[in-house]
Structure 1
């Protein structure tokens, strides 16, 4: 399996690549080949006489590539110019990537996390599964929020086709996931409908049986309320290392928009987020 790993050559990304635990988790997910990509601004000139930008970029990229090679990954490096999210998604399609990885830096003292511009734009347009890896900034260093990327997964589902597609990720996660929480949030206006909660509980139980068969310890939770708030409340209660959910497109266009629930959860969650886009339409 292939991954496109976006790097801006910052200390934050270096911290992620230096984490043996993170890289082992990617290996258990099934990743064996990594395309390490740096996107430079179209305004940055690397070829002028006396310019050292190109050499510095290549040197930094090779240093990070060596960290991946030391953990047994096959690595190819890419330096391109352009708009980051377009180049990241373009390379992912070109090489047939199974996963895109981008870092998102949040400031730990703040109650509400935030997603960086590049990560947000990739999430809104990705046609491949996307791992938004949370990297926490402290005063003088960076830390990985959850090094065991997929050890505990919170799967949020509305039982839509795209949510079912996200659930298929457990085929790859089963070697890396020990515990899963399956969550459905019922809008308050539907709680009065006959059998709504019982139906949701039964559907979650069926999914739980499938995961238990994979050796993953599973719990099911049905909550009432606003989806984003309840997903974040479940994150606080169950302490997952990643949230898994689908990002629903709003039209059959090539560039798919991120659903508002997915976007808000990705922006505000403290842990990693694994987003699965809708199937591509021909």
Structure 2
């Protein structure tokens, strides 16, 4: 399996790449080849006064490549120019990546308003599973907030086809995941199941599947606003990563700022693994 790891050469990106535990977790789920991608914005060019971008970039990528290679991965580097999320998606498609990884400093009042953040734009447009690796905020030398990427998983489901596809990721995660908590949020706007079917029973069936994989599993049905209730479950269970599907019923739906998956990307305390449609 191949993964794209997007880096802007910031301290946050460095924390994602240089975490030994995170690299070990990627190895456990079958990642063998990592492609480091750096996108140079169109308004940044060589020779800008005061900063030697090219020298800094080459030095950082060389260091990152050595760290990842030393952990047994094959590594390729890509330096491209353009709009970050479009170029990252393009490379992921070209190489046939199974996963795109990006570090994020996490929620803040400003980030909740800024629509142009790379992580948010990727969550809207990616056709590959996206892992948002949460990094410490407000420190000059940040570290990842969750050392183990997949050890404790929170899985949020509305029983849609896309949620089912997201659940299938547990077959990849079984060698890295020890515990899982499944949650379904009932809401009048989106009942999720045909009338007469029991969400508790459906969750119990999913839990039994994970138990067969050797993953200790609990589950619950909640009621209320989906985003708020999923985040409340995250606060209680304290997972290393929340796994959620992005419905993508239509192009318009994917662009709506109020979508549950995008809300989780922005507001979650820990990592988020977002699985878009068509990933079966």
TM over 0.5: yes
- Aligned 8 A contact 2:2 2:99 in 1: yes
1:83 is matched with which residue? 83
1:136 paired residue number: 136
Once residues 213 and 117 of structure 2 are traced to their aligned partners in structure 1, the CA distance between those partners, rounded to angstroms, is 37
After superposition, the Cα gap between the structure-2 partners of 1:113 and 1:207, relative to the gap in structure 1 and judged at 3 Å, is farther
Task: State TM-score, norm by structure 1.
Answer: 0.89
Q: Which residue number corresponds to residue 54 of structure 2?
A: 54
Query: Given that residues 4 and 92 in structure 1 are in contact (C-alpha distance below 8 angstroms), is that contact kept between their aligned partners in structure 2?
Result: yes
| Structure 1 spans left out of the alignment, 5+ residues | none
Change (3 A) 1:267 1:252: closer
RMSD (Å) for aligned C-alpha atoms: 2.7
Residues 112 and 268 of structure 1 are in contact (CA less than 8 Å); yes or no, is this contact kept in structure 2? no
Query: What is the 5 A alignment of 1:126-165?
Result: 126-165=126-165
Q: How does 1:66-81 map to 2 (within 5 A)?
A: 66-81=66-81
In structure 2, distance between residues paired with 1:12 and 1:189: 38
Contact 1:46–1:52 (8 Å) recurs in 2? yes
Judged with a 3 Å threshold, the aligned counterparts in structure 2 of structure 1 residues 102 and 142 are, in CA distance, closer, same or farther, namely same
Aligned to 1:180: 180
The equivalent residue for 2:269 is: 270
Q: Displacement of 1:56 after TM fit?
A: 2.4
Q: Supply the distance in 1 between the matched residues of 2:74 and 2:139 (Cα, whole angstroms).
A: 34
Indicate if the aligned counterparts of 2:11 and 2:140 stay in contact, CA closer than 8 A. no
* Alpha-carbon offset, residue 188 of structure 1: 5.4
Q: CA deviation at 1:219?
A: 0.5
Residue 168 of structure 1 aligns with which residue?
168
Residue 194 to residue 166, structure 1, CA distance change in 2 (3 Å): closer
TM-score normalised over the length of structure 2: 0.90
Equivalent pair of 1:177/1:216 in contact (CA under 8 Å): yes
What CA distance in whole angstroms lies between the structure 2 residues aligned with 1:117 and 1:203? 36
In the other structure, the counterpart of 2:213 is: 214
Deviations 1:112-132 (A, max 9, x none): 985980000011000000000
Q: Secondary structure at the match of 1:142?
A: coil
Q: Which moved more, 1:110-119 or 1:182-191?
A: 110-119
Decide whether the 8 Å contact of 2:106 with 2:267 is kept in 1. Answer: no
- 2-side partners of 1:184 and 1:53: how far apart? 47
Aligned length: 274
SS of residue matched to 1:150 = coil
In 2, are the aligned partners of 1:113 and 1:269 still within 8 Å (CA)? no
CA distance in 1, matches of 2:26, 2:189: 41
1:251 aligns with 2:250: yes
Q: Give the C-alpha shift of residue 252 in structure 1.
A: 6.4
d(CA) in 2 for partners of 1:112 and 1:172? 35
Check whether the contact 1:152–1:240 (CA below 8 A) recurs between aligned residues. Answer: yes
Which stretch of structure 1 is more off in the superposition, 141-150 or 257-266? Answer: 257-266
